[in-house]
Each structure stands twice: as C-alpha cells, then as structure tokens.
Chain A
C-alpha cells in the first residue's frame, strides 16, 4: 500500500489520492485545490492547527511533535 509522502497517510482507494489520481505520491489532504502538493510551511501549519484542535496540545508541543513527524517523511527530508 502506498503512503502519502507528505503526511504518511495510507492511500488505498482512489479518493485517498490527490485529485483521485493514483499515480500521485501524496494524498487528498496534502493537495492544494489545483492538485499541487502543499508547501512545507502550509502543511506544517495545518498539521499544527489540526493537532491543537483535536488534541488540545500546547502550541510548542504541537510544533515539536509535527516537526518530528514531518522529519521522517520523504517529501520534507530536505527541509530539515
């Protein structure tokens, strides 16, 4: 099973992929409306916001957890 290079989500069905295109390496949640992949800063900010919204973490903890996660992902290797 493919996993999204930008967030690590497993991608199995068509609707998991950006624009429903199974040849893409990133998921529907990591794509902009035109189908391009979100930038590092955009993705980082949206993950931080999401983590705070759904888990109530302190901003600095959320930032570090997100950075830690993004560091492992192929799309962002060069950003660290």
Chain B
C-alpha cells in the first residue's frame, strides 16, 4: 500500500506533467520551467525534484502522450475497423491533443535527440495499426502498388500540413473541420 507521502509525490508529478502539457501546448517548448512552476502553483525547485532536467520533463511528457495515443488506438483496433474508420480514429485521437500535437510537429527539430526518438516511436504505433488495417483490407479494397512507408508518410504528411498551416484553412480546429474531406480523398489517392 502506498504511503500518504508517495501518493502526494505522484500527485505532484502528475500536476507538473499536466501543467507542462498545457503550457507547452499554449506557448511552445521554449516556455520556461519557471512558467510551468507558476502555472502549477509549485516552487521552481519542486519541478527539478521530479525531473532533474528540462529534457527529462519533455521526454516524460512525450512518453506519457505516446502511451495515451497507443491505448486509444489499441482500444479502437479491437473493433473490426476498416481503413476509413481507422483514419477517423487517428484524427479523433489527435483532435483530443490538437494544440499540443501541433506544437510538437512544428518544433520537433529543435527538441533533444531522445525526444525525437520518442516521437518516432509514437508514429510507430500509428504505422503499426495502419499496416494491420491495410493488410486486412487487401481483399476488400484494391490499394495501389505503393510501398507501405509511402502510404503512411503520405497520410502523416497530409494531416501535418493541415495542422501546421491551420490558419490557411480555418480559424477553429482544422482536423475537426476537414476530417471527412481528408479521409475520403486520401483513400481515393491510394485506392486503385
């Protein structure tokens, strides 16, 4: 059984991660730990008790984010999803984290190397599910003879373009507003 102290410690760690998530989503990854501490209403030093460096904080945050995406997509994959419902599930997951994800894809090149590897592994989960769906759907729909990585990267490229250029398409959530259009036309592009 956890002691009161352990429960408190875990709660503070979660509070820091939740707050960092929101601050980074709002301001980008250049936001200072001082800002995160203030927003979380904890002392600056408390952050470093839980995360020795900013790099550690960002990596923990990305790992948590990756696990959440992993869990959501896995639960959805239990149902017999087809290509269309899988792509919708992917977009729906991203809509939940849209502001944070937008920052992440815009700033990934300036994040620490280890964070980049975590990012790759987040995408691996998506590519794993997409690959499974494509394999399963082969008999039902004819997919053009395109390598799997081009199928995946084209999908990612499409949604990342809309996300990073949100302002070109809408003032609201670009994924919410363009979801159906993106899915429908992406399938047309890869279908024979």
Contacts and interface: CB of A to CB of B under 8 A. Distances in A.
Interface in B115-159: 117-118, 120-121, 123-124, 127-128, 130-131, 147-150, 152-153
A10 B131 CA distance: 17
Contacts, number: 59
Interface stretch (B4-12, B34-42, B45-53, B71-79): B71-79
At the interface, is chain B mostly helix, strand, loop or mixed? helix
Contacts of A55: 120, 123-124, 127, 149, 152-153
Contacts of A19: none
Interface residues of B, number: 24
Given A10-B70, A10-B74, A12-B74, A54 B149 contact: yes
A69 B118 CA distance: 7
Interface string A41-57: 00000000011111111
A54 B123 CA distance: 10
12 contacts: A8-B67, A50-B124, A50-B128, A51-B124, A51-B127, A53-B131, A53-B149, A54-B131, A55-B124, A56-B149, A65-B124, A68-B121
Interface of A: 1, 8-10, 12-13, 50-57, 61, 64-65, 68-69, 72
Interface of B: 63, 67, 70-71, 74-75, 78, 114, 117-118, 120-121, 123-124, 127-128, 130-131, 147-150, 152-153
